[in-house]
Amino acid sequence: MSGTGKDSKGKNVNRTSQESSGTNNSALTAARFEQELKNAPADVQEKLRALLQQMAVSDGSGSSASGSGREPKSMEEHKFWKTQPVVKHDEVVEEEGPIEMNVARDQVRATPYPLPKEFEWTLVDVEDDKEIKELYELLTLNYVEDDDAMFRFDYSAEFLKWALQPPGWKKSWHIGVRVASNKKLVAFISGIPQDLRVHTTVKRMVEINFLCIHKKLRSKRLAPVLIKEVTRRTHLEGIFQAAYTAGVVLPKPMATCRYFHRSLNPKKLVETGFSHLARNMTMARLIKLYSLEAETSTPGLRLMEDKDVKAVAALMNKYTADFDVAPQFEEADVRHWLISRPGVVWGYVVEDPETKEITDFFSFYSLPSTVINSPTHETLNAAYSYYYAVQTPSEELSKIADENERKVARANAIKPRLVKLMRDALILARRHGFDVFNSLHLMDNALYTEELKFGPGDGYLHFYLYNWRCKAVESEKVGLVML
Amino acid sequence: MLQARFDSASAFMASAKKLKLPSSTKLALYADYKIATEGLCTQPRPSMIEFEKSAKWKAWTETGERYVNELKAAAQVATRDEQEDAARLELPILAMVSYIERVEGGQWGWKFDPTESNAGVTTTGDQDLDELEAYLGTDMDEISAEEMLARPFVPVEGHMEGPATAGISTMAFSTEDDTGYDPLEPAKSGSVEALQSALTNNPELISLKDDMGFTMLHWACDRGSLEKVKLLIETYNVDVNVQDADGQTPLHCASLADWPAVVAYLKSLPSVDQSIKDNSGMTAEECLE
């Protein structure tokens, strides 16, 4: 934890244009920058994004030097990724497809990769309360932090069960490492199966998530062996492509999306250091600025039920067809991922009061963060925007020949509805006790964030494919949300 | 057999860190070891100021070149390509032999025991696995996992932590439009002590208003710092009923920003006039409705 980070930030910073009383030059610059980005060729865009991100980092009052994530990548990491079937940083993808050929099952290494002798492999049984608790503790104490080590993700045990047991889940993909002598769980990596469409190709892939190594054992260099082992086990199941996300830049992002944050409890966000008051911004005005109506406004809005699954699956697959990368949800996936689970995920549908048809849906999930070393607050309750769908007039849009015109027409057609729905999502999230509502700038999220007073975050999420060459995807063409 | 002897010798050297060897000997051993295990040096030249790295790089590179030339000259084949091939195949063998000779010749106490040969590190022939072993390392000095877990946490820089790091985004901020001196700053943020010393240095600050008509007391009430509010009122006797450009008092500020402790404190003071209305005609109490 940086000694200077909090003080220097707390003193005089201004985080969103709405919070600023005067003109916010940097927000304007960033907006203009984003505009420039959109007009640039894809590879230039990526470089500019990286630059923008670096600027965002260096903006962080230099305190990021103490953070864990943004150090220059180590030789080991570089050496490791060099051997993996991933797109190289300087590579321009002309044709999409696998990087390595599939391997016949009897050609896949039959035994687990050897660990250093003091460790042993284990499977974490997520249906066993004791083991899920061990996993929860490993992640809570050692998983992702922000750059200043002020917050750390705090996935709940219920959340982990939800995340790790979708339809088709495999026990052999919940891979742990224990210290041989005392059986302590010190590392974890997981995969879940998911049909993913990348441009026009639909592939059975594995989504890799929750790679975590005990922070005191980072020097044991276990990450590469965990990655190799989960790869081996997906090969054994006949799957050769994977999708994963990371806050860090690895070879090579398929897409990069910025986080946006909507304050629901601005005072707590300021007190925990999540956001900051501009010099001439008063707390009183800040509270007023982010106040929301008590009731939702969309007629027919209600929690999603099992009977809605079919309609929601149809809505979702129609809506996500507009994106370049999107999961293909079967009804079982919709049932698993989008029906509300207490404290984990909330799914809402809009049922037309007259026709009784399901016209839209949205969802968000809960991912709290532990507030590290705060005297007043233990937990920051964050809701994350998840999947949603609104009606798109696809037929009319398809008649517009010019791509840009079509894009504008599409945005105009869905924006008012989307803003209305997401305002209701904010109201519901606040009612459920969330302090902040987070959205990545993927899907059509950029259409509602400004109007609903989201502010840009200092974080970006990079999307990666393993063993699949893919042309760069614009952030608003990403239709995949990973937990 | 050669491999086993080499493994034994290198394991011995790795464990014999107490030997005080001249650096020229250490570099020669290093070069032979690297060529035996990794072949010719392909790493980029380190910067000149990294003395140790530069010396190692130089030893590895130059020894490799020398061996290749020796092997080419010795190869009993005609074409240049065949010479290259022979050199490439025999290079690690030459390096291993040279390494073992050095360890034997140094008389540092190593003796080859054929029965231990199975315990040594051998290459598996599985490229994936060899790669992995290279990452995992076989440094004998490393502390055990159990011991590491027992120690207090010290961040390790530069080690791979997997794709999951740097994940939590917080609100981005910029300092661009907040530059320059703000005399009321100590009331808004920072410690009570800092406020006190600012007031000691410049007593006029207690009645200074900014362009919104806010005094230090307004700001301290808005930010909810009971300690600062008390300091300003009890030590510096600031005007508790001062109104800003909108007619709001410090009590309005504390009420609107919802700081119950500050509101309760202000209301407990007889000098605080709770009936003062702001420009929209509302008392602090009424503002909340």
Residue B42: give its domain's CATH number: 1.20.80.10
- Are B49 and B119 in a shared domain? yes
Separation of alpha carbons B195 and B178, rounded Å: 19
- Residues A119, A178: contact at Cβ < 8 Å? yes
Q: Do A212 and B148 touch (CB under 8 A)?
A: no
Whether residue B192 is contained in a domain is answered as yes
pLDDT at B117 > cutoff 90: no
| Burial zone of B59 (CB within 10 Å; 0-12 exposed, 13-18 middle, 19+ buried) | buried
Beta-carbon separation of A458 and B172 below 8 A? yes
Domain count, chain B: 2
Residues B15 and B113 in one domain: yes
Q: Rounded to an integer, what distance in angstroms lies between the CA atom of residue A310 and that of residue A317?
A: 11
The pLDDT, as a whole number, for residue A10 is: 30
B127 Cα distance to chain centroid: 32
* Confidence (pLDDT) at B100: 87
| Strand, helix or coil for residue A456 | strand
Domain holding B260, by residue range, is 183-287
Which own/partner contact pairs does A179-182 have at CB distance under 8 Å and 24+ positions apart? Answer: A179/A118, A179/A119, A179/A120, A179/B145, A179/B146, A179/B149, A180/A117, A180/A118, A180/A119, A180/A120, A181/A118, A181/B146, A182/B146
Contacts of A386 (CB under 8 A, 6+ apart): A337, A338, A345, A362, A363, A364, A365, A481
> How many other CB atoms sit within 10 Å of the CB of residue A257?
26
> Nearest CA to CA, how far is A92 from chain B (Å)?
22
B130 or A385, which is more confident = A385
Please tell me chain A's helix, strand, coil percentages from 3-state DSSP, rounded to the nearest 5.
Answer: 35, 25, 40
**B49-74 mean pLDDT:** 83
For residue B145, give the nearest of A147, A212, A220 by CB distance: A220
B133 and B37 in one domain?
A: yes
**Residue A146's closest chain B neighbor by CA?**
B168
> Residue B196: is its pLDDT beyond 50?
yes
Stretch 256-275 of chain A: residues touching chain B, C-beta under 8 Å: 259, 261, 267, 269, 273-275
**Stretches in chain A below the pLDDT threshold 50:** 1-33, 52-72
Angstrom distance (rounded) from CA A200 to CA A190: 27
Q: Are residues B118 and B61 in the same domain?
A: yes
Where is the domain boundary, B137, B158, B174?
B137
Q: What is the pLDDT at residue B94?
A: 85
Does residue B257 fall inside a structural domain? yes
Identity of the residue numbered A378: E
Range in A342-351, A442-451, B99-108, B154-163 with the lowest mean pLDDT: B154-163
Bridging pattern class, strands A242-246 and A201-213: parallel
Best mutation target among B143, B173, B177 (most A Cβ atoms within 10 Å) is: B173
Strand-pair partners of A364: A346, A385
Using DSSP bridges, classify how beta strands A382-389 and A242-246 pair: parallel, antiparallel or unpaired: unpaired
Mean of the pLDDT values across residues B2-18?
Answer: 79
Last residue of a domain, one of B137, B171, B203: B137
Phi and psi (nearest 5°) for A357?
Answer: -80, 150
Residue B141, pLDDT score: 45
- For the record, the structure tokens of A393 come out as 């007039």
Main-chain phi, psi angles of A198, to 5 degrees: -115, 110
Composition of chain B by helix, strand, coil, percent to 5: 55, 0, 45
| pLDDT the model gives residue A18 | 38
- In a shared domain, residues B75 and B194: no
Return the CATH number at B192: 1.25.40.20
- What type of residue sits at position B85? D
CB atoms within 10 A of CB A141: 14
Are B131 and B24 members of one domain? yes
Which token pair is A370?
Answer: 């532990």
Of the partner residues A246, A458, A459, the one whose CB lies closest to the CB of residue B163 = A246
**Judgement on whether residues B192 and B260 belong to the same structural domain of the protein:** yes
Least Cα separation, residue A127 to chain B (angstroms)? 24
Q: Name the residue of chain A whose CA is nearest to B124's CA.
A: A114
What are the chain A neighbours of B128 within 8 Å (beta carbons)?
109, 113, 228
Domains of chain A: 5-66 (no CATH), 89-246 (3.40.630.30), 255-463+471-477 (3.40.630.30)
Per residue in A290-337, pLDDT tens?
999 999 999 999 999 999 999 999 999 999 999 999 999 999 999 999
Q: Is residue B68 part of a domain?
A: yes
> Is residue B167 domain-resident?
no
- Alpha-carbon torsion A237, A243, A249, A250, what sign? positive
Q: Are residues B193 and B131 in the same domain?
A: no
d(CA A133, CA A136): 5
Q: Are B266 and B252 in contact (CB under 8 A)?
A: no
Distance CA A251, CA B122 (A): 31
